Amino acid sequence: MLIRIDPGSDQPIYLQIAKSIETQIEGGALRAGERLPSARSLSASLGINMHTVLKAYAELQDRSLVEMRRGRGGVVVSETTGIDVMARELVGTAKRRGMTQDEVQRLIWDAWR
Amino acid sequence: MLIRIDPGSDQPIYLQIAKSIETQIEGGALRAGERLPSARSLSASLGINMHTVLKAYAELQDRSLVEMRRGRGGVVVSETTGIDVMARELVGTAKRRGMTQDEVQRLIWDAWR
DNA sequence: ACCTATTTGTCCGTATGTATG
DNA sequence: CCATACATACGGACAAATAGG
């Protein structure tokens, strides 16, 4: 787990960590099922606070890239599962707002370009 | 801004706050453009920590219900803008994973049931 | 144009709870 | 039972953006 931190960057530390891990996942260096280092160990090796690492992990969880669980830690999820969750959330809010299926499809079509 | 907190609930405080505000937005009690109370004032009136309120606000921001900015505070977003962002994020990750437009449409269709 | 107060953003530290192995 | 690890909540500090006088 190779993660570099630039304290003088304009980007916050937790985003630097999240982005670093994200690129490793997208690049194939981290594959589905692999575990992330524990927040404590990573924070200790980086010399930062544990909460900062946890915030980065939460960011990755929000994007459905990793799955966090108490007592176990974080694991990289299958590449195909994440987008399903996003689709379900999108459909859920669309339904709550009374949108039709056609309107959602048009939304997707507009967002594509 | 009427928000009740149940300390003995199984749900965390920040989710109770987020859900309470969400229902007020959905119900029309909070309309687009209205400001949320500052995290400090709300936390003081509830007798809880400011960070807990900020976490609730961040949750609402993730769902594109409110927009947070430094120095200004949080304002309720127009009801129609939120789902556009979700659609763009969905399309963005779909493109990064090399999915076609048809596959995304099928994903939406499957998620609709 | 300047200054000041307000407000969120980030980070740190600590403590407690709870699920996992 | 016990060690590990995240989840939540508290408190404090400083930075940065905003609004208003």
- What are the φ/ψ torsions at residue A59 (nearest 5 degrees)? -60, -45
Q: Is A82 on the interface with B (CB under 8 A)?
A: yes
pLDDT band at A42 (very low <50, low <70, confident <90, very high): very high
Q: Is B104 on the interface with A (CB under 8 A)?
A: yes
B21 touches strand C (CB under 7 A): no
Determine the distance in angstroms separating the CA of B100 from the nearest CA of chain A, rounded to an integer.
10
pLDDT < 70 positions in chain B: 79-82
10 Å Cβ neighbour count for A99?
16
Q: Tens digit of pLDDT for each residue in B4-21?
A: 898 889 999 999 999 999
CA of A79 to C1' of D4 (A): 27
Determine the distance in angstroms separating the CA of B23 from the nearest CA of chain A, rounded to an integer.
12
Record the tokens describing residue A75, joined without a space: 């694991």
Record the tokens describing residue A94, joined without a space: 């669309």
User: Average pLDDT of A29-58?
Assistant: 95
- Identify which of A88, A91, A107 has the shortest CB distance to residue B84: A107
pLDDT greater than 90 at residue A27: no
Q: Is residue A83 classed as helix, strand or coil in its secondary structure? A: helix
Q: Tens digit of pLDDT for each residue in A67-108?
A: 999 999 999 986 666 677 788 888 888 887 778 888 888 888
Q: Name which of B41, B75, B80, B45 is nearest B60 in CA terms.
A: B75
Determine the distance in angstroms separating the CA of A86 from the nearest CA of chain B, rounded to an integer.
6
Q: Name which of A53, A63, A64, A46 is nearest A6 in CA terms.
A: A46
Predicted confidence at residue A26, as pLDDT, reads 82
Predicted confidence at residue A82, as pLDDT, reads 67
Predicted confidence at residue A73, as pLDDT, reads 95
Q: What is the model's pTM? A: 0.82
B38 touches strand C (CB under 7 A): yes
Predicted confidence at residue A79, as pLDDT, reads 66
User: Average pLDDT of A18-44?
Assistant: 93
Q: Is A85 on the interface with B (CB under 8 A)?
A: no
Record the tokens describing residue B61, joined without a space: 């921001």
User: Average pLDDT of A37-51?
Assistant: 96
Nearest CA in chain A to B88: A111
CA of B45 to C1' of D17 (A): 25
User: Average pLDDT of A44-52?
Assistant: 96
User: Average pLDDT of A26-45?
Assistant: 92
User: Average pLDDT of A45-52?
Assistant: 96
Checking phi first, is residue A16 left (phi over 0); if not, alpha (psi -120 to 50) or beta? alpha
Contact between B109 and A91 (Cβ < 8 Å): no
Chain B contacts of A84, Cβ < 8 Å? 107, 111
Question: How far is A78 from A64, CA to CA, in rounded Å?
Answer: 9
Chain A contacts of B111, Cβ < 8 Å? 84, 87-88, 90-91
Predicted confidence at residue A24, as pLDDT, reads 93
Predicted confidence at residue A88, as pLDDT, reads 84
Predicted confidence at residue B82, as pLDDT, reads 67
Q: Is B109 on the interface with A (CB under 8 A)?
A: yes
A55 burial (CB, 10 Å; 0-12 / 13-18 / 19+) is: middle
- Identify which of A62, A86, A97 has the shortest CB distance to residue B90: A86
Predicted confidence at residue A20, as pLDDT, reads 96
Residue positions counted in chain B: 113
Report the 3 state secondary structure along chain B.
Answer: CCCCCCCCCCCCHHHHHHHHHHHHHHHCCCCCCCECCCHHHHHHHHCCCHHHHHHHHHHHHHCCCEEEECCCEEEECCCCHHHHHHHHHHHHHHHHCCCCHHHHHHHHHHHHC
Average pLDDT across chain A, whole number: 89
Q: Name which of A67, A52, A39 is nearest A7 in CA terms.
A: A52
Record the tokens describing residue B38, joined without a space: 């500052």
